[in-house]
Structure 1
């Protein structure tokens, strides 16, 4: 039976996550994550997608992504196939590295975008044993570009959007957004599925 075609709306942001097969690590080293980021840069140049948030953990990753011109399924196929090919070559791995198709859910409105981005950015501090004390100390997340505006973000990351979605009377600044992330712990729909 063929897979059901996913809904795609070109102006919508989607929470996308991908996990390693049997919860195994698919990012063994810093070089692996650097390669994924390089693949994303390539994909953004080719397909024109943008992100508001991302976080790469050892056995999964999260994106808050919008693809206006190319179907998101094609964008994700390119990213995941290229990384899978890299992983197979580097580690002489045979077979699939991903558990199943990527999870995706449309972020319906400003509150959903805020909740999802906060959830993504809190990943490194919300593990059973926190990986870092502060989210800005985690190198493989977009949070640090919100926390330190002197850093140059990847070309596909837009750090000038989410703060404007903060509820009143909160200031519409990245500093206020970072405080929002630290203050409000969010739970995403696939939270239980992606526990490390």
Structure 2
């Protein structure tokens, strides 16, 4: 059974909604536009402020301010309404989204700014396009503007205006920020976490090492918070080998 959502003192949350089984959510621009229409309606109805967003093919990132505690209702209605649209237009039957949603409480100004940059950098990390050329994120609502879905005032005030926002977005990536829900890192951040944990050793290089050198590094990845399946994906080493190496050293 899923535990209660972690609470943010100031109401800021980074939310991720994923397609069930990595299912594609947006097969065309009409689907993306419909999702944004439903989101806009829900924001107004539930009195939630949107600070940043990005639509990827099989998942969605939202950064919100939920002072009135309407977020759960917003996302429930959004998922339900979009699932009806999706099933009707595609002929799909069954669940569209993977569970409820995942969220991380934002606890500082620094983390808030990092989350904005992280969300806008999704198409960059995925190799799709530069952030300023990707049409399905809120980056264009900040630079050059104007805003339509988001409430940009807080973030623009923190970075020093629209011109400064563009420069801020280009400085230093997302400063190591990763989306971590509960005790587990998000799959798309596993490689970043692995590289940080291993330092100068490339994750893919572990496969060629002898066990006496490889196994302590596998344990470092487990200690960093990665699951066995995530380590398998970033290193190419089989799960049984990883489990044996890390269990022996537990």
Specify if TM > 0.5. yes
Q: Which SS does the other structure have where 2:153 is aligned?
A: coil
Cα offset, 1:192, TM superposition:
4.1
> How many positions carry a matched residue from both structures?
183
Cα offset, 1:70, TM superposition:
3.9
Q: Are 1:141 and 2:137 an aligned pair? A: yes
CA deviation profile, 1:15-39 (whole Å, cap 9, x unmatched)? 0001112212111100011001000
Matches of 1:70 and 1:123, distance apart in 2: 27
Q: Which runs of 5+ in 1 are unaligned?
A: 167-171
Aligned residue runs from structure 1 range 23-62, under 5 A: 23-62=22-61
Q: Are 1:189 and 2:179 an aligned pair? A: yes
Cα offset, 1:189, TM superposition:
2.4
Give the alignment's TM-score, normalised by structure 1.
0.85
Cα offset, 1:193, TM superposition:
1.9
Q: Which SS does the other structure have where 1:62 is aligned?
A: strand
Asked if 2 retains the 8 angstrom alpha-carbon contact of 1:10 and 1:68, the reply is no
State the structure with more CA Rg.
2
Give the alignment's TM-score, normalised by structure 2.
0.68
Asked if 2 retains the 8 angstrom alpha-carbon contact of 1:10 and 1:67, the reply is no
Aligned residue runs from structure 1 range 122-161, under 5 A: 122-127=121-126, 130-132=127-129, 134-149=130-145, 151=146, 153-154=147-148, 156-161=149-154
**Aligned residue number for residue 169 of structure 1:** none
Would you tell me which structure has more helix in proportion to its own residues?
2
Matches of 2:11 and 2:69, distance apart in 1: 12
Q: Point out 4+ residue stretches in structure 1 off by more than 6 angstroms.
A: none
Asked if 2 retains the 8 angstrom alpha-carbon contact of 1:12 and 1:66, the reply is yes
Q: Which has the higher contact order (CA 8 A, sep 6+)?
A: 1
**Aligned residue number for residue 90 of structure 1:** 89
**Aligned residue number for residue 71 of structure 2:** 72
Cα offset, 1:99, TM superposition:
2.0
Q: Which SS does the other structure have where 1:17 is aligned?
A: strand
Asked if 2 retains the 8 angstrom alpha-carbon contact of 1:47 and 1:67, the reply is no
Q: Which runs of 5+ in 2 are unaligned?
A: 190-250
